[in-house]
């Protein structure tokens, strides 16, 4: 295991992300709600750069008491979407929203002073 420098925390604001190289692989590092998350930048579908996709809140269907469809709303849960074919991942877990058996490889992130590292 190696610690790979990502960025200075002071340069990594809320909602930011960085892509770092770890040997032959890339890792996407996210700063979300005061915490850091890191995943392999390799989509489980066909290897696309999943961590570089758009970030969007999870969309929920609203079903009425009479079981009729009432529309959709955004939840508080943040997702990111692979730019190649749209596989969607939970930011806090790396689990694929469309198939919860699939997930991105997760990495630990550590902060030492103002430096942020990913463990790979
Ligand atoms: S490679 Fe990511 S959705 Fe296809």
- Which atom of ligand 1 has the smallest separation from the CA of 85? 3
When the pLDDT of each residue in the chain is averaged and rounded to a whole number, the result is 97
Read off the pTM. 0.93
- Which atom of ligand 1 has the smallest separation from the CA of 86? 3
For the chain, helix (H) and strand (E) counts, in that order, are: 0, 9
- Give ligand 1 pocket residues (Cβ under 6 A): 43, 45-48, 50, 82, 84-87
- Which atom of ligand 1 has the smallest separation from the CA of 48? 1
Decide: 91 and 32 in contact? Cβ < 8 Å: yes
| Residues 106-117: tens digit of each pLDDT | 999 999 999 999
Domains of the chain: 3-119 (2.102.10.10)
Tell me, in angstroms, the distance from the centre of ligand 1 to residue 73's CA. 25
The pLDDT score that the predictor gives to residue 97 is 96
CA angle 77, 20, 82 (to 5 degrees): 40
As a whole number of angstroms, the distance between CA 103 and CA 8 comes to 28
């Amino acid at each position: 295991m190696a610690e790979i420098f990502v960025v200075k925390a002071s340069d990594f604001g809320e909602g930011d992300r960085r892509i770092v190289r770890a040997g032959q692989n890339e890792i996407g590092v996210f700063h979300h709600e005061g915490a850091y998350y890191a995943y392999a930048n390799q989509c489980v579908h066909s290897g696309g750069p999943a961590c570089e996709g758009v970030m969007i809140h999870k969309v929920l269907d609203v079903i009425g008491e009479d079981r009729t469809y009432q529309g959709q709303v955004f939840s508080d849960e943040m997702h990111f979407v692979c730019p190649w074919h749209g596989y969607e991942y939970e930011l806090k877990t790396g689990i694929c929203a469309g198939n919860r058996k699939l997930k991105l490889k997760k990495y630990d992130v550590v902060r030492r002073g103002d430096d942020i590292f990913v463990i790979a």
